[in-house]
């Protein structure tokens, strides 16, 4: 997959792609394949921990999505 | 009629000065004149790690225990505003019982 | 609380109930009070006994509000400068004229140099903290919004660490603030112990925590442990004071973890189910046995062990972390270690333990959301964001130290216009080396200042001065912890007017409507608040007024119930879904993933030669009841209580220098010097001095070079620029060195 194709995926798609690759390849191979460094992946929220990729669920103030735990969601 | 007084729990008087300032507001007192004034004792170390440091507000003869406020069903200004909730107002007999019940660092004033 | 919030009294006085915030400054504590207005003037302020948190209590800053509100030096009309910068020459103008001038300048800089050439500076604590972000992002349209304190050393580091380690909003001790019946609520459990670390909450009312709740809990039986280089009043009522050497806190935290882990005092179930990296942490803390930690911190070994055993066994035993976590280049590791202590002892999100809020709620979220109104290319130009990802991921601001560098060098681009909202940072408040900022800020071509008084910063830089109303003069909503853990929410009610002042949100709306009307559909503050409140809570601003205070329900152990994570799964909102005792993110950013101790940059051990010349450890910034940082110095009743900047010195050390109580002395080091008045006290170690911050003299000449005597007692001139931690957070405001000598002048 090219970097461009990878970036077009949504977060869930990106995560699932990275982890399907991680089943057989190491980080350096995957990084080379999509042409993105560890720092670049980190910037969009993906981290390689213990042989698999994880997504930081809350991107601090970089994101404007609902966190899902707003008052209204917690106390209906 | 009972004598009324002010009870101060100086274990919990944190030295915030709210009594002083709220009293000045209530009684419209100028600078240097007080209806109640905070005194500071310490800090000094009695034994290593065992410190004495007390603040104790003392009412002056300008204190009428906020008769006007009491009449309206309110607390005296100092008692209401005390951040440590360390002041109490009432008949001295009742306050004396509270003093005895706590058993330390209590003082009662009858201004 | 009573529904009626505004009442006419028989003598014609109008009484308005409100919950306080600012100006004048304080954190969003929301204390309940009644404002008495007669003939358009605020004549008296008293506490509101119905308020569930403050219960009628009120501190001297609110009790003296009439002196502040009607102070002859207060600025109550918009003004433009008619002399040179630093000259006290001004002309009153209308709001329309002020807005015309400002909008022309914003358009000019945006069109010619890009909106990023405009920077908004915000101060600390005041209500402006909610609004200076949208002012920048949404009203003006610049990505550069700056809190100028070196290493963002106030609150931001703790919030960011919490985001990365817990994936949550601000962790606060549970003081039953969520419950109308408070400590008696059946869901609540009184803390057995509270550890107060580098903080004096009685005076600081930190971030909305009502400080004297500590006293409420002590009366019910809670015991206190203080970690502080000074024994303050609360320390004399504490069971233990760990009186550590300033800046060595992280070693102490690791030492406590060492004892708790090695003596098997931790909560196994929590550790196994909900933490990541425990084995790594366990290995790391072996490097910090109590003997070694005692040597580093000067806290006796036996006391470290005893306190560790208390923290490990007392239930619950929350730790309240203070500014000392932020004002330390080793502070990220300290915060991480404290969160680890809280987590592994089972004190997280349990009754009477540590409550955690959503990452950002209500307006706390709105203020950040406004950044989405900036295109990504512009957002990418935020100063220091690229270089300091650990800061820019959690904070929506520029990097403060990089901002000073940008002002000095013009790189990566030149800043041309400044907007100072509620910040007087050339006084010793939120900047290191304020003299250097002062010189660097001269390069700005046009400045707007929003404040209530002519401050040194306004006198030096304002071209346009926009007057702010006090909290008694405008409508607003106060919510604790700026929405990061909103324990309660209160209505702030406009009771009267002084001059022509406009609140932060009113200025945002007015400016926004002129420059970016698509983002500003509201005409009044009330409309804005209705839109914020209604979708989230189902009530509007007027309903909140009638409620007085709204306390949202609280749910404990949210991590078990899937209430923390975005995806609704159990766990924490972190990369691994667990409390990260070993941090995935720190490692990704090139930092050690585990907490470690680093000696202060200047100390008897790291710079022994310099320490011979500057033989005191300098710590700064303890709070007082009578001021909020640089504010309140002009209020006569408060100044009577605290007339001078005080430096605390141990009598033993002072005697050797021939210094007596009440002497004026100079504090001096490699970076600067200032003058303060000596208070001798044995509550401080003979090798340590504590100096006050925030001092300037409203009674001294306004014009340059005096600027109200801002340089005379300015302790921050002794604090160096950019001595920050590896992730960009923390500066040595509380752990420097200096010498002390008598001032003969």
Residue pLDDT, tens place only, C624-656: 999 999 999 999 999 999 999 999 999 999 999
**How far does the CA of residue C139 sit from the closest CA of chain A (Å)?**
18
- Give the pLDDT means over successive 10-residue stretches in chain C (745 positions): 95 97 94 97 97 98 98 98 97 98 98 98 94 96 98 96 92 96 97 98 95 98 98 98 98 98 98 98 98 98 98 98 98 98 98 84 71 92 96 93 98 98 97 98 98 98 98 96 90 97 98 96 95 89 97 92 84 94 95 98 98 98 96 97 98 98 98 98 98 98 98 98 98 98 90
A partners (3+ CB pairs within 8 A) are C
User: Are C681 and B22 an interchain contact pair (Cβ–Cβ within 8 Å)?
Assistant: no
Q: What is the pLDDT of residues C493-547, one digit of tens each?
A: 999 999 999 999 999 999 999 999 999 999 999 999 999 898 888 899 999 999 9
Residue of C200, C203, C219, C622 to mutate for B, most B C-beta atoms under 10 A: C219
**How far does the CA of residue A27 sit from the closest CA of chain C (Å)?**
13
Element (H, E) at C673: strand C673-680
Element (H, E) at C74: none
User: Are B80 and C637 an interchain contact pair (Cβ–Cβ within 8 Å)?
Assistant: no
B to C CB pairs, distance under 8 Å: 90
Nearest CB neighbour to A58, from listed C167, C361, C568: C167
Nearest CB neighbour to C359, from listed A49, A55, A67: A67
What is the domain range of residue B12? 4-109
| C near B: at least 3 beta-carbon pairs less than 8 Å apart | yes
**How far does the CA of residue C59 sit from the closest CA of chain B (Å)?**
5
Burial pattern C593-615, b for ≥16 Cβ within 10 A else e, equals bbbbbbbbbbbbeebeeebeebb
What pLDDT band is residue A58 in, cutting at 50, 70 and 90?
low
C partners (3+ CB pairs within 8 A) are A, B
What is the domain range of residue A44? 3-74
Q: What is the pLDDT of residues C136-189, one digit of tens each?
A: 999 999 999 999 999 999 999 999 999 999 988 899 999 999 999 999 999 999
Q: What is the pLDDT of residues C532-588, one digit of tens each?
A: 898 888 899 999 999 999 998 899 999 999 888 877 889 998 999 999 999 999 999
Mean pLDDT for all residues in chain C: 96
% of chain C exceeding 90 in pLDDT: 93
Q: In chain B, which residue's Cα lies nearest the Cα of C624? A: B16
Strand partners, C684: C230
Pairing of strands C673-680, C664-668: antiparallel
Does C136 contact A at CB distance below 8 Å? no
User: Are C371 and A61 an interchain contact pair (Cβ–Cβ within 8 Å)?
Assistant: yes
The DSSP letter of residue C453 is: B
Q: What is the pLDDT of residue C114?
A: 98
Q: What is the pLDDT of residue C705?
A: 97
Q: What is the pLDDT of residues A21-56, one digit of tens each?
A: 999 999 999 999 999 998 889 888 899 988 899 988
Angle among Cα C203, C204, C210 to the nearest 5 degrees reads 90
* Sheet (strand C193-197) strand order: C240-242, C223-227, C193-197, C319-321
Counted domains in chain A: 1
A to C CB pairs, distance under 8 Å: 95
CA C729 – CA C334 distance, rounded (Å): 12
Whether residue A20 is predicted with pLDDT greater than 90 in this model: the reply is: yes
Specify whether the CB–CB gap between C360 and C573 falls below 8 A: no
CA C741 – CA A17 distance, rounded (Å): 67
Residue of C143, C379, C588 to mutate for A, most A C-beta atoms under 10 A: C588
Whether residue A75 is predicted with pLDDT greater than 60 in this model: the reply is: no
Counted domains in chain B: 1
Give the residue from C56, C55, C53 showing the smallest Cα distance to C45: C56
In the numeric block, the tokens 């005895």 are attached to B100
CA B23 – CA B12 distance, rounded (Å): 19
User: Are C60 and B52 an interchain contact pair (Cβ–Cβ within 8 Å)?
Assistant: no
**How far does the CA of residue C53 sit from the closest CA of chain A (Å)?**
21
Q: What is the pLDDT of residue C216?
A: 98
| A near B: at least 3 beta-carbon pairs less than 8 Å apart | no
CA C539 – CA C557 distance, rounded (Å): 27
User: Are C212 and B85 an interchain contact pair (Cβ–Cβ within 8 Å)?
Assistant: yes
ipTM of the prediction: 0.98
Nearest CB neighbour to A71, from listed C361, C368, C577: C361
Q: What is the pLDDT of residue C369?
A: 79
Q: What is the pLDDT of residues C683-721, one digit of tens each?
A: 999 999 999 999 999 999 999 999 999 999 999 999 999
Q: What is the pLDDT of residue A76?
A: 45
Element (H, E) at C67: helix C65-69
Does B49 contact C at CB distance below 8 Å? yes
CA C514 – CA C103 distance, rounded (Å): 8
Within 8 A of C396 by CB-CB distance, chain A residues are 61
Q: What is the pLDDT of residues B58-105, one digit of tens each?
A: 999 999 999 999 999 999 999 999 999 999 999 999 999 999 999 999
SS (HEC) of B26-92: HHCCCCCCCCEEEEEEEEEEEECCEEEEEEEEEECCCCCCCHHHHHCCCCCHHHHHCCCCCEEEEEH
Q: What is the pLDDT of residue C92?
A: 98
CA C33 – CA C4 distance, rounded (Å): 14
**How far does the CA of residue C40 sit from the closest CA of chain A (Å)?**
39
Specify whether the CB–CB gap between C103 and C110 falls below 8 A: no
Give the residue from C606, C496, C597 showing the smallest Cα distance to C256: C597
User: Are C637 and B77 an interchain contact pair (Cβ–Cβ within 8 Å)?
Assistant: no
Domains of chain C in start order, with CATH, are 79-149+361-470+500-536 (3.40.50.740), 171-356+568-588 (3.40.228.10), 608-742 (2.40.40.20)
User: Are C683 and B51 an interchain contact pair (Cβ–Cβ within 8 Å)?
Assistant: yes
CA C356 – CA C348 distance, rounded (Å): 8
CA C80 – CA C149 distance, rounded (Å): 28
């Amino acid at each position: 997959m090219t970097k461009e194709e990878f970036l077009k995926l949504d977060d869930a798609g990106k995560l699932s792609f990275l982890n399907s690759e991680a089943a057989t390849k190491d980080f350096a191979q995957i990084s080379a394949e999509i042409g993105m460094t560890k720092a670049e992946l980190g910037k969009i929220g993906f981290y390689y921990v213990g042989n698999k990729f994880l997504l930081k669920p809350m991107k601090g103030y970089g994101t404007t999505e609902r966190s899902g735990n707003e008052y209204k969601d917690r106390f209906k | 009629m009972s004598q009324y007084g002010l009870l101060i729990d100086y274990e919990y008087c944190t030295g915030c000065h709210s009594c002083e300032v709220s009293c000045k507001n209530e009684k419209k007192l100028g600078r240097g004149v007080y209806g109640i004034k905070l005194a500071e004792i310490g800090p000094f170390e009695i034994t290593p790690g065992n410190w004495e440091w007390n603040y104790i507000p003392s009412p002056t003869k300008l204190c009428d225990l906020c008769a006007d406020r009491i009449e309206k069903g309110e607390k005296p200004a100092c008692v209401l505003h005390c951040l440590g909730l360390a002041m109490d107002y009432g008949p001295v007999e009742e306050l004396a019982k509270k003093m005895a019940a706590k058993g330390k660092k209590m003082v009662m004033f009858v201004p | 609380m009573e529904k009626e919030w505004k009442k006419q009294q028989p003598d014609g006085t109008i009484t308005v109930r409100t919950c306080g915030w600012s100006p004048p400054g304080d954190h969003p504590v929301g204390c309940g009070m009644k404002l008495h207005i007669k003939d358009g003037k605020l004549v008296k302020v008293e506490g509101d006994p119905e308020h569930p948190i403050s219960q009628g209590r009120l501190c001297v800053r609110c009790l003296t509000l009439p002196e502040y509100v009607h102070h002859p030096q207060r600025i109550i009309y918009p003004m433009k400068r008619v002399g040179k910068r630093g000259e006290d020459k001004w002309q009153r103008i209308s709001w329309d004229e002020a807005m015309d001038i400002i909008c022309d300048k914003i358009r000019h800089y945006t069109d010619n140099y890009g909106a990023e050439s405009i920077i908004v500076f915000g101060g600390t604590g005041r209500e402006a903290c909610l609004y200076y972000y949208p002012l920048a992002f949404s009203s003006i349209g610049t990505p550069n919004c700056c809190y100028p304190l070196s290493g963002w050393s106030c609150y931001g580091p703790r919030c960011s660490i919490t985001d990365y380690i817990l994936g949550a909003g601000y962790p606060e001790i549970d003081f039953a603030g969520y419950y109308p019946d408070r400590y008696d609520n059946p869901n609540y459990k009184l803390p057995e112990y509270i550890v107060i670390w580098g903080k004096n909450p009685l005076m600081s009312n930190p971030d909305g925590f009502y400080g004297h709740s500590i006293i409420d809990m002590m009366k019910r039986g809670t015991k206190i442990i203080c970690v502080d280089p000074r024994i303050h009043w609360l320390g004399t009522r504490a069971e233990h004071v760990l009186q550590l050497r300033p800046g060595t806190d992280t070693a102490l935290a690791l030492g406590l973890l060492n004892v708790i882990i090695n003596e098997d005092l931790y909560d196994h179930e929590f550790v196994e189910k909900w933490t990541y990296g425990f084995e790594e942490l366990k290995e790391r803390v072996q490097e910090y046995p109590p003997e070694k930690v005692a040597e580093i911190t000067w806290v006796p070994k036996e006391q470290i062990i005893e306190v560790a055993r208390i923290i490990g066994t007392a239930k619950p035993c929350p730790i309240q972390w203070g500014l000392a976590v932020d004002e330390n280049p080793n502070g990220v590791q300290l915060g991480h270690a404290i969160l680890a202590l809280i987590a592994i002892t089972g004190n997280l999100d349990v009754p009477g333990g540590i409550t955690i809020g959503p990452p950002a709620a209500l307006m706390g979220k709105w203020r950040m959301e406004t950044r989405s109104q900036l295109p990504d290319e512009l957002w990418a130009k935020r100063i220091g964001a690229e270089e300091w990802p650990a800061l820019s991921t959690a904070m929506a601001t520029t990097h403060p130290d990089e901002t000073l560098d940008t002002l000095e060098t013009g790189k990566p681009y030149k800043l041309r216009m400044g907007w100072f909202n509620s910040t007087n940072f050339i006084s010793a408040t939120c900047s290191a080396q304020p003299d250097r900022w002062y010189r660097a800020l001269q390069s700005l071509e046009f400045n707007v200042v929003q404040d209530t008084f002519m401050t040194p910063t306004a006198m030096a830089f304002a071209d346009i001065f926009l007057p702010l109303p006090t909290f008694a003069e405008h409508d607003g909503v106060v919510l604790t912890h700026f929405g990061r853990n909103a324990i309660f929410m209160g209505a702030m009610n406009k009771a009267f007017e002084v001059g022509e002042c406009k609140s932060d949100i009113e200025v945002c709306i007015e400016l926004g409507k002129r420059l970016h009307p698509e983002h500003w559909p509201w005409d009044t503050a009330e409309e804005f608040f209705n839109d914020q409140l209604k979708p989230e809570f189902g009530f509007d601003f007027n309903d909140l007024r009638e409620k007085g205070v709204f306390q949202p329900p609280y749910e404990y152990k949210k991590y078990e119930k899937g209430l923390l994570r975005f995806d609704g799964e159990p766990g924490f909102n972190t990369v691994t879904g667990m409390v990260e005792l070993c941090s995935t993110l720190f490692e990704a950013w090139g930092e050690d993933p585990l907490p470690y101790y680093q000696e202060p940059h200047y100390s008897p051990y790291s710079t022994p030669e310099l320490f011979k010349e500057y033989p005191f450890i300098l710590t700064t910034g303890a709070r007082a009841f009578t001021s909020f940082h640089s504010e309140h110095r002009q209020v006569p009743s408060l100044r009577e209580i605290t007339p001078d900047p005080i430096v605390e010195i141990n009598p033993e050390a002072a005697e050797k220098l021939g210094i007596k109580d009440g002497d004026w002395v100079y504090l001096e080091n490699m970076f600067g010097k200032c003058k303060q008045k000596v208070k001798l006290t044995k509550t401080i170690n003979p090798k340590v001095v504590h100096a006050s911050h925030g001092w300037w003299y409203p009674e001294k000449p306004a014009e340059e070079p005096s600027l109200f005597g801002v340089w005379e007692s300015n302790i921050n001139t002794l604090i160096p620029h950019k001595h920050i931690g590896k992730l960009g957070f923390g500066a040595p405001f509380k752990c420097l060195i200096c010498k002390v000598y008598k001032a003969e002048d």
